[in-house]
Structure 1
Amino acid sequence: MTSTTPAHTGQQSSRPSTVGGVVGAPSAARAAQLVRRATGGADNAPVEITSPFTGLITAELPQATDAEARAAFAAARNAQRAWAAVPVTERQRILIRLHDLLLERQDEALDLVQVEAGKARMDAFDEVSGSALVAAYYGKHSARILAPRRAAGVIPVLTKAGELRHPKGVIGVITPWNYPLALTAMDVLPALVAGNAVVQKPDNQTALSALWLHELAEEAGLPAGIWQIVLGRGSAIGDALAEESDYLCFTGSTPTGKRLAEQVAGRLTGYSLELGGKNPMIVLPDANPAKAAAGAVTACFSSAGQLCVSVERIYVHESIREEFTKAFVAKTEALRLSAKLDHSADMGSLTSESQLANVSAHVDDARANGATVLTGGHPRPEVGPLFYAPTVLTDVTPAAKLFAEETFGPVVSIYGYTEIDDAVDRANDTVYGLNASVWCRDTRAGAAVAARLKAGTVNVNEGYAATFGSVGVPMGGMKESGFGRRNGAEGLLKYTEAQSIAVQRGLKLRPFRGMPPKVWVKSMTSSMKALRRLPR
């Protein structure tokens, strides 16, 4: 069963009642209005979602069954045919209108992201700005990227060759809880502008943010039914996403990504995966320690470290290690923690009890294996139930779990080095390869070091935002950090099928009647030698 989508009134709700006990949050009625945009859930009991800031209920979410998820794919497939016929220039205009709405209505989005994910407001704004940048990029460049492309034919003039791009059909998108707005935009919007329909499963914890963007997209002109959102646990509807999609886009853990890849591979359909990371930062000997320390604070503790591209390992040249560490610890201890829906916090909360338990276990295990806690290392329940102090460690040994495993929290380890080759080798000594950072004065030398790091994105004198916000370049992981890329031309073309068409005129590509094959081969060989010398 598909719930009825309420007509958008064009009126913005005021911001006064509370959801999850947070003053200023969207009202319970507003949350319920967004939930009604979801597909399915008639046959399952809803689940209650709580706010990380308070532990109180934020929403009751319907949970789709496997059959309802598959029905959503069938409905999307029917709607996609008409959508694919809409000129790409019109699809672009919808994204431009969405870009404008995102910026105009950002206050409600900021509240939703804070209430659902527990973020500081500045970190929530990263999601709004990231979503707007994606809408603007594909709103401007999709027609050019998707345009028919001419290519050199086998015989100049007589052979006309070209490439067309067709939408794949219905894209399955599974988005995580840690960046509910930005990752929805990054994966869903290019799929839509390429002419596909989308069936998305957001994480239950942060589903309202995805539903809010869905509402704005339809207000911007997206036809109803092209983008369907189904809510449910992966164990219940994950198979439907993997088995019904013409292409699957997943962001989440490496083990889950591997399981989905196996399912999709059996159907010979495509997929892209952004998975885990243990992201390194290298501070070169010529770096300004204070500036590098300030950059490291943002790189490590934005979104409480619950960011796939956040830094968890810092390698500092011994000549400046003491100065860097002193400045970094001081700046870390100065971070303000708060559960208010305003700009009073520098760092927010962890999002779930399981995240708090994992972060605590990693730090306790590292301490038990000889690590030194320079600051933090404990929960902050007086601020909120899931807050954890931003933590800096040193003397971490390979025996500690967090030495190699992803912590995904506000925890970072500092290591010294004397030779740059050693720092590069240690930074690359991981099964992951998502993001990395290099800090220096000589940016040419820094870029040379960056090119040696086995990571899909590397930022020089920035932690992650330079590549994250540069939507025109691809973003994704090497090794066990993923497969495929989002953003840039590649992030759009992955949602299409390439078709080559060649029209042959005049000369046939086989011997003329009566011509001996040996004469034909000799003639073609001479022609190929001559063609190689021509510009093509």
Structure 2
Amino acid sequence: MSDTAATAAAALLDRIQAPEGRGREIPDAATREVIGRAPVQSVAELDDAIARARAAQPGWDALGHARRSELLLAAADAIDANAEALAHLLSREQGKPLNGPNARFELGACSAWLRTNAATELPVQVLVDDETLHAELVYKAAGVVGAIGPWNWPLMITIWQIGPALRMGNTVVAKPSEYTPLSVLALLSVMNDVLPADVLIGVSGDRATGARLASHPDIDKVMFTGSTATGRKIIESSAGNLARLTLELGGNDAGIVLPGTDPQAIAEDLFWGAFINTGQTCAAMKRLYVHDSIYDEVVDALAGIAAAVPMGNGLDEENVLGPLQNRAQFDIVSRLVEDARARGARIVTGGEAAPELGELFYRATIVADIDDDAALVQEEQFGPALPVIRYSDVDEAFARANAVDVGLGASVWSSDPETARAAATRMQSGTVWINSHGGLHPMVPFGGVKSSGYGLEFGVEGLKSVSVTQVVSGPGRKG
């Protein structure tokens, strides 16, 4: 990372951080040094932000789709122009390295999703058109959208929320995670260089701020990505205002490797399906079921990659794995691996902290010969530890993979893609990938089933999710 990018990141930070002596100090995830001071805004300040967004919404809506799309493209250009500075700040605050499927990748996704939002059409749908009746279904702005984001992909997921909302004529009040507020506020500041005033407002606060945002009487739609437990609280908070909800909640994604698959051909993709963002990804593979006939080969191949992949400070251009973002998540990963060890599971590689790298680093870990009832299998680890589970009967493997109360993503792996495709629908998940895991496309809808939430994001379905419908019905052709 160049000195120029670091200087530009510092300038962005100065635009959004709290004054000296105020706010909440945010640490560098890798070094634990203080990066800056996040504003801590009160519920009264949130109320004011929502009032300003409410006042701005009719004018923003009146601009029309074409003009709003132009402004979204300008916002994407602004992100691209500041991408290195934003990636620098993101890497320090979240911990993810600059390279690999990490910080620079995330900034590229931000502008790509905005450009797709701008280009996607959502035409009026003609329902009936005959001699007696002409009826159309129209999609209109919901009003003011409350966007509550996570700490793992803080910029990209914020764009997933605010991009379609703005495109459809809504205004947005966005609350970042308490762990990663600075990079999100910097992103919003860059976008607000080109957007009209009060169309997009960032509010940095604690959980009480998030609860108020979900329950506020002037919020028409809430979008949330995070844990299932917090999602349930948001559902409760929204009972009073009847805000529409899109909830992308916890996952415990399973992958199944079918017999006859070449372990070496899939090992690299298997690894990154689980370890992208150091495992801190909702739709990362959290459990891997492998047929007995190739089990040892798959375990050995994954362990070889895990032991060799560079881990360390994200600003080092060589690294592609970073620290856990926060102490709470580090403790969860440590607890689950230690429980697996105590149960007699085999720690093939990793299985311990890496204190020489920093306080929150945990080595990439492959755990073999583990039972389904182990906590590492039943709970979402959200970190760099993958349990690899042996099976001998394919039907049994699908039953075991589906025996959890979440269903965000899943994958099926085979040297015969058609065999995998035929088996894919047996998975109880919102998305099933074939010979890959976790890849997303801005035009392909994404969402979960069971306790992984509800509502779809991306593409046409994503635009619909931030809209309200209106049926316009009148005389037909004879009329």
* Interval of TM-score (by shorter of Structure 1 and Structure 2): over 0.9
Superposition deviation, residue 104 in structure 1: 3.7
Give 1:326's aligned residue.
Answer: 300
Return 5+ residue gaps in structure 2 as ranges: none
Q: 1:350 to 1:496 in 2, by over 3 A?
A: same
Tell me the alpha carbon deviations over residues 250-309 of structure 1, each in whole angstroms, 9 at most, x when there is no partner.
111111101111221343221011111111111112322012211111111111111001
Give 1:534's aligned residue.
Answer: none
Give 2:211's aligned residue.
Answer: 238
- The letter of the residue matching 2:384 is P
Tell me the alpha carbon deviations over residues 177-220 of structure 1, each in whole angstroms, 9 at most, x when there is no partner.
1111100110111001100000111013212222222123223x
Partner-residue secondary structure (3-state), 1:225: coil
Give 1:247's aligned residue.
Answer: 221
- Within the alignment, does 1:495 sit opposite 2:466 as a pair? yes
Match of 1:98 among 67, 75, 85: 75
Give 2:258's aligned residue.
Answer: 284
Give 1:203's aligned residue.
Answer: 177
Superposition deviation, residue 350 in structure 1: 0.6
Alignment of 1:67-466 (within 5 A): 67-121=44-98, 122=100, 123-141=102-120, 144-145=121-122, 147-153=123-129, 156-219=130-193, 221-244=194-217, 245-465=219-439
Superposition deviation, residue 396 in structure 1: 2.1
How far apart, CA to CA, are the structure 1 residues paired with 2:50 and 2:298?
A: 53
Q: 1:403 to 1:237 in 2, by over 3 A?
A: closer
How far apart, CA to CA, are the structure 1 residues paired with 2:264 and 2:462?
A: 36
- The letter of the residue matching 1:64 is Q
CA contact (8 A) 1:424 1:449 kept: no
CA contact (8 A) 1:69 1:241 kept: no
CA contact (8 A) 1:163 1:499 kept: yes
- Which structure has more relative contact order (CA 8 Å, sep 6+)? It is 2
Name whichever of 241-250 and 52-61 sits farther off.
241-250
Larger Rg: 1
How far apart, CA to CA, are the structure 1 residues paired with 2:96 and 2:476?
A: 63
Superposition deviation, residue 45 in structure 1: 5.1
- The letter of the residue matching 1:151 is L
Superposition deviation, residue 337 in structure 1: 0.8
Tell me the alpha carbon deviations over residues 433-471 of structure 1, each in whole angstroms, 9 at most, x when there is no partner.
011122212111111222211111111111212xx1x11
- The letter of the residue matching 2:201 is Q
Match of 1:60 among 37, 42, 47: 37
Partner-residue secondary structure (3-state), 1:459: strand
Superposition deviation, residue 370 in structure 1: 1.8
Give 2:4's aligned residue.
Answer: 14
How far apart, CA to CA, are the structure 2 residues paired with 1:84 and 1:348?
A: 42
Superposition deviation, residue 392 in structure 1: 0.8
How far apart, CA to CA, are the structure 2 residues paired with 1:352 and 1:97?
A: 34
Number of aligned positions between the proteins: 475
Tell me the alpha carbon deviations over residues 463-486 of structure 1, each in whole angstroms, 9 at most, x when there is no partner.
212xx1x11111111100111111
Superposition deviation, residue 92 in structure 1: 1.0
Q: 1:84 to 1:13 in 2, by over 3 A?
A: farther
When the two structures are superposed, what TM-score results if normalisation uses the length of structure 2?
0.94
How far apart, CA to CA, are the structure 2 residues paired with 1:187 and 1:269?
A: 15
Superposition deviation, residue 507 in structure 1: 8.1
How far apart, CA to CA, are the structure 2 residues paired with 1:205 and 1:412?
A: 24
CA contact (8 A) 2:303 2:366 kept: yes
Superposition deviation, residue 137 in structure 1: 1.2
CA contact (8 A) 2:314 2:321 kept: no
When the two structures are superposed, what TM-score results if normalisation uses the length of structure 1?
0.85
Give 1:26's aligned residue.
Answer: 9
Superposition deviation, residue 16 in structure 1: 4.2
How far apart, CA to CA, are the structure 2 residues paired with 1:477 and 1:160?
A: 35
CA contact (8 A) 2:215 2:239 kept: no
Partner-residue secondary structure (3-state), 1:223: coil
Give 1:514's aligned residue.
Answer: none
- The letter of the residue matching 1:148 is V
How far apart, CA to CA, are the structure 1 residues paired with 2:40 and 2:284?
A: 31
Partner-residue secondary structure (3-state), 2:362: coil
Give 1:516's aligned residue.
Answer: none
Partner-residue secondary structure (3-state), 1:265: coil
Return 5+ residue gaps in structure 1 as ranges: 1-11, 18-24, 509-536
Superposition deviation, residue 506 in structure 1: 9.1
Give 1:528's aligned residue.
Answer: none
CA contact (8 A) 1:65 1:237 kept: no
CA contact (8 A) 1:66 1:237 kept: no
Q: 1:132 to 1:288 in 2, by over 3 A?
A: farther
CA contact (8 A) 1:172 1:242 kept: no
CA contact (8 A) 2:371 2:389 kept: no
CA contact (8 A) 2:146 2:173 kept: yes
How far apart, CA to CA, are the structure 2 residues paired with 1:67 and 1:176?
A: 23
CA contact (8 A) 1:94 1:217 kept: no
Tell me the alpha carbon deviations over residues 6-45 of structure 1, each in whole angstroms, 9 at most, x when there is no partner.
xxxxxx993346xxxxxxx832x54121336xxxx99x95
Superposition deviation, residue 354 in structure 1: 1.0
Tell me the alpha carbon deviations over residues 222-241 of structure 1, each in whole angstroms, 9 at most, x when there is no partner.
11211111000013442233
CA contact (8 A) 1:293 1:325 kept: no
CA contact (8 A) 1:151 1:163 kept: yes
